[in-house]
Structure 1
Amino acid sequence: MTFSDKLKNYDTLVFSAIAFFAIYLFCSYNGVGISPDSIMYTSAARNFVEHGNLHTFNHKPIVDFPVFYPTYLGIISFITRLDPTVFGWWLDAFMFAALIYCSGYIMSRFVPTNRIYKWLILAAIILNPGLLQVYCYLWSETLFILEVLLFMIVFRQYLLNHAGKWLVFAALIGAVACITRYAAVTIVGTGGLILLLDRTLPIRKKIGHILIYGFISISLLVANLWFNALHTGTVTGPREPSITPFSKNLYYFGTVFCDWLGFTPNQYFLATPLAAIILIGFIAALAFNFYRRKLDSFENLAITFALVYGLFIVLSSTFSRYERINPRLLSPMYIPALWGYTSWGLLFLKRLANPKVRIAVAIVFIGAMLGYITKIFMVDHFRYKDQISDEYGNPGYTDNDWMESEFARYLKTMDKRIFKPKVTVYSDAHEAVYFFSGMSSFLVPHKFFQKDVDKFFQKKHFYLIWFKNLENAELINLKDIQSRVPLKTIKDFGDEGGIYEYEE
């Protein structure tokens, strides 16, 4: 092995260590960030260890999310005898370091490859504010993004030799990814699209490989959805129709890329055209690679996944309601999109015959990348100052607002005998009730599901734990409830909320 070959690994290891340290820095004040989703994952992981099932804190199977990430947390918790909220930042730091190592491995095999390019892109990945945020929380994206790169590594090996074992291996990674995040159907779609476009495969072999790949890659997802339907009556939990049209979702998609490029909100007028350019550019690049019969490169895999994932998020947001398109939702797309829109520069430089022109173009590219890296570094620095230097912490249930909350302190120490046995407890933030008190409760119904609302008001006796600062416009609110039934105040915390009882 030459010194150059060793450097391919050593420099990537250095960047991986930097990535690990970055997560350590952002979790150094209050540990890993805890959001409502994190509590769902954590409670299911705890039940996996204690009772061998994947029930959440309200004693129901986890349905809104696939089963693998809480299982993954549960296995680590069982081995280490530590709670996910304790080892969470360590796990995220290791996975972020692994993500950087896989990124370096892939870029070392670009055609052509360039070490300075790799260093600049690795720095841009580590410093991306969206990825840094994701890897500071107990979120399934931390595992899913790594699975995307592992899929690319294995599927590319299949494309080089069309060996069945590599196809099966890639399909298995896709299958596990599908029960990590439902959005992993985009991995299935990426592989299926490339198989369909691959003109080097004889038609009979192509059909066979598509069937094998498709069957294996969706097998675990089908089993997960079947289990959900059997035990809860829904395949992915109750879903509401979208209230944002395609044009609005395309705009939100563009605003995320505006943020990633260092634009300010004043420049969001560029969001929709930028989103259109990004997606159309990927379509054009994929068509060009198909025309050249060059579908087996990492660069093309990145382009195809970025296109499939981006379209999936925009279109699914148009038909189903979930959180507005944001950096977290698009985080799996960042690395492939970055590769897709920069790697072509390496080929362009190689084709420049004049050395002076080549050097001049390279200097311009390096200068642009350094300017971009500086911009996102300043965003990260501001976040570090706000969350760590100013001692606030990662936003969520462990930040200073909650740690200093009188309501949260009461929930941690309250005598649960204030609640009569077998009387249902409701809340507008049932995950917060569990996180602070360890007590199970149920979410008040969504306004959209009128049958659930009617059923709620037919209750003759219930308790209500209400957090005023977490009110959700999609849920029935405190005023709605008070207008229908007389609530007795058990404990009042002013602007923070209170605990109430209704008994007919």
Structure 2
Amino acid sequence: MLDRIRRTPLPLVAVAIVAMVMAIALTSLNGPGLSTDAVNYLSTADNVARGIGFRNFEGDLYVLWPPLYPAILAGIELLFGVGPQVSASLLNALAFGGIVLLMGILARRILERDFILCSWAVGGVLLSTSTFAISVNVASDPIFIVLALSFLILFDRYARDGDRASYVGLIAVCGLACLQRYIGATLILVGSVGIVYARWSRPRQGMGEAAVFAGLSVAPLGAWIVRNYLVSGTFLGVRDPETWKPMENLLDIGFKAARWFVPYQLSSHPAFWVVLVVGLAVVVLVRRKRLVRPLAGVEPEPITFVLILFPIIYLAAMVVLTKSIDHKNILYDDRLYLPAYFPLLVLFLLVIRLMLRLVLPEAASRMRRYALLGAAAVWLLFPAYGMYKFWVRSINDKGIAYYNIYNTPTYQDSAVTSNLKTWVSDSDLAVYSNYPAAVYLETRRIVGSLPGRADFYGVPQPLEGYAGRWPGRLPAVLVWYEPNTKRNLYSLSELATLAELRPLFTSGDGAIYALTPR
């Protein structure tokens, strides 16, 4: 793959560098966005670097996610002394540039080096607010997308050339993808089916290579799952008991994926889709002979087959496996589905080229090129405007937009946060909070879990069951932020039945209490 990168056009490399600079420039203003997941990654990385092991900011075992991302951040901290938050910001900026670069390489291979279509593909990623947003937040998604795009490029090389290095690269990339996100296992399924399809004329060889590929790719994930079971008694941890039904997931995916290609002002209206479907049907019906004749007896290229298969399998897994309601009805929150955007964008451009040939069959090549250039320019205005709004909002809000929770004025300027070090600086104190991630970011210490309505395994826990057990070690303080939106936690009044809450500091956005068992 390195030889292919060496032959990558300099303009594409320059655009990738621009992407990196964009991410670094925005995060340099106020730092990267930090969600609760982000604090899990950062705290686990810090604990690994300090020799505590894979535990998060509450001291809980790190099993809900695979280990690659915090392991990389911990390695950087150990080798270079750079803290996880800084290294994560730089790493994701590098990943954003890598995504743009790899998308350009993939587009050149599949779109026959068509300059306009390849530029459209690269522009569609460079200006993608969804992709940029996860790259300026601390998140595991950008590196996962780099691995997914690498998988597609390596598979194309393997299918075309039978290249052994590409085959080994596929195994390595899929193994790493599974260690970056559990959903990376879908790449193994896609790759296995793709290998069999690519070797259809030699079925025994195809089945053998697919079996070896799948077995070796899944081995690292298998080892991590065994580790999870040994330390926690669960294979992948226990998610929130709330569930989101598959049909709701499917509708959410369709709604948000449509926004990748069509402005919300159009995609939200059923009439638009009716007109589009009818229009396409008319074109296909009128030009059916031109459409059918070239395609008759032609089997899709292996990479085309995989480009279709990957979003189907990946999004089907999202339909079945996504249970959290945190993403529901949040217009911008499409990060779970985003890896499917890149193959879908390439397929979208292939369809655009095909439809242009059907609509303008007699037009000169130059005429079609002008039409394609105009379509690309108009389409790219839509993500460009979205990117502009994202920058304006991030600058005005003094914090990265979208997924950012804790690196915002809401927490940074909170009176409770400002007084944390005054009241919780004693290392002998046991500290509890309804927002432990916020406390960790300010103090860099493990924050104890509050009594919850269900335990780690999802088993209901009555309030009276905590009597005599919480707060446990003394002296102890409770850092309570308002408003409290944690549904699984008992309320402040309920906690007061377990311990005396003596105010040390109070304000409009919360309070800090000394705890004394009742």
Q: Is the contact between residue 77 and residue 83 of structure 1 (CA under 8 Å) also seen in structure 2?
A: yes
In structure 2, the residue matched to 1:472 is 486
> How far apart, CA to CA, are the structure 2 residues paired with 1:44 and 1:141?
17
Q: Are 2:321 and 1:316 equivalent residues in the alignment?
A: yes
Structure 1 range deviating more: 492-501 or 348-357: 348-357
In structure 1, the residue matched to 2:507 is 494
User: Within 5 A, what are the aligned runs for 1:132-211?
Assistant: 132-198=132-198, 200-211=200-211
The correspondence for 1:335, drawn from 312, 334, 342, is 342
Shift of 1:429: 2.0
Shift of 1:254: 2.3
In structure 2, the residue matched to 1:285 is none
> How far apart, CA to CA, are the structure 2 residues paired with 1:392 and 1:172?
36
> How far apart, CA to CA, are the structure 1 residues paired with 2:72 and 2:364?
51
Shift of 1:392: 4.2
What is the identity, as a one-letter code, of the residue corresponding to 2:268? Y
Distance 1:266 1:105, change over 3 A: closer
Q: Is the contact between residue 349 and residue 362 of structure 1 (CA under 8 Å) also seen in structure 2?
A: no
Map Cα deviations across residues 73-130 of structure 1 (whole Å, 9 max, x no partner).
1122222211021233322221111111111111111243311111122111111111
In structure 2, the residue matched to 1:436 is 442
> How far apart, CA to CA, are the structure 2 residues paired with 1:91 and 1:249?
30
User: Within 5 A, what are the aligned runs for 1:239-388?
Assistant: 239-241=239-241, 243-261=243-261, 263-264=263-264, 268=268, 270=270, 292-297=298-303, 299-317=304-322, 320-321=323-324, 323-324=326-327, 326-346=333-353, 354=361, 356=363, 358-388=365-395
> How far apart, CA to CA, are the structure 2 residues paired with 1:502 and 1:267?
56
> How far apart, CA to CA, are the structure 1 residues paired with 2:428 and 2:347?
59
Structure 1 range deviating more: 456-465 or 154-163: 456-465
Map Cα deviations across residues 142-185 of structure 1 (whole Å, 9 max, x no partner).
11000001111222222124455532321221011101001111
Q: Are 2:416 and 1:407 equivalent residues in the alignment?
A: yes
In structure 1, the residue matched to 2:98 is 98
Structure 1 range deviating more: 50-59 or 21-30: 50-59
Give the paired residue count. Answer: 481
Shift of 1:349: 5.3
Map Cα deviations across residues 313-369 of structure 1 (whole Å, 9 max, x no partner).
11212xx44642631112212211111211233456578885626545544443333
Q: Is the contact between residue 98 and residue 146 of structure 2 (CA under 8 Å) also seen in structure 1?
A: yes
Secondary structure of the corresponding residue to residue 180 of structure 2: coil
Q: Is the contact between residue 467 and residue 498 of structure 2 (CA under 8 Å) also seen in structure 1?
A: no
Secondary structure of the corresponding residue to residue 336 of structure 1: helix
In structure 2, the residue matched to 1:81 is 81
Give the TM-score normalised by the residue count of structure 1: 0.85
> How far apart, CA to CA, are the structure 2 residues paired with 1:380 and 1:243?
32
Distance 1:321 1:6, change over 3 A: closer
User: Within 5 A, what are the aligned runs for 1:230-245?
Assistant: 230-241=230-241, 243-245=243-245
Q: Is the contact between residue 302 and residue 337 of structure 1 (CA under 8 Å) also seen in structure 2?
A: yes
> How far apart, CA to CA, are the structure 2 residues paired with 1:265 and 1:351?
28
Secondary structure of the corresponding residue to residue 441 of structure 1: coil
What is the identity, as a one-letter code, of the residue corresponding to 2:17? A
Q: Is the contact between residue 393 and residue 400 of structure 1 (CA under 8 Å) also seen in structure 2?
A: no
In structure 1, the residue matched to 2:280 is none
Determine what percentage of the aligned residue pairs are the same residue.
20
Give the TM-score normalised by the residue count of structure 2: 0.83
> How far apart, CA to CA, are the structure 1 residues paired with 2:336 and 2:99?
17
Shift of 1:26: 2.1
Shift of 1:6: 9.6
Distance 1:10 1:349, change over 3 A: farther
Question: What value does the CA root-mean-square deviation take over the aligned residues?
Answer: 3.2
> How far apart, CA to CA, are the structure 2 residues paired with 1:355 and 1:17?
40
Bigger proportion of residues as helix: 1
> How far apart, CA to CA, are the structure 1 residues paired with 2:154 and 2:76?
25
Distance 1:45 1:8, change over 3 A: closer
Secondary structure of the corresponding residue to residue 20 of structure 2: helix
Name stretches of at least 5 consecutive residues in structure 1 with no aligned partner: 278-287
> How far apart, CA to CA, are the structure 2 residues paired with 1:66 and 1:254?
28
> How far apart, CA to CA, are the structure 2 residues paired with 1:359 and 1:117?
14
What is the identity, as a one-letter code, of the residue corresponding to 1:155? F
Map Cα deviations across residues 410-437 of structure 1 (whole Å, 9 max, x no partner).
11443444x965x5x4332222221112
Secondary structure of the corresponding residue to residue 442 of structure 1: coil
Q: Are 2:427 and 1:427 equivalent residues in the alignment?
A: no
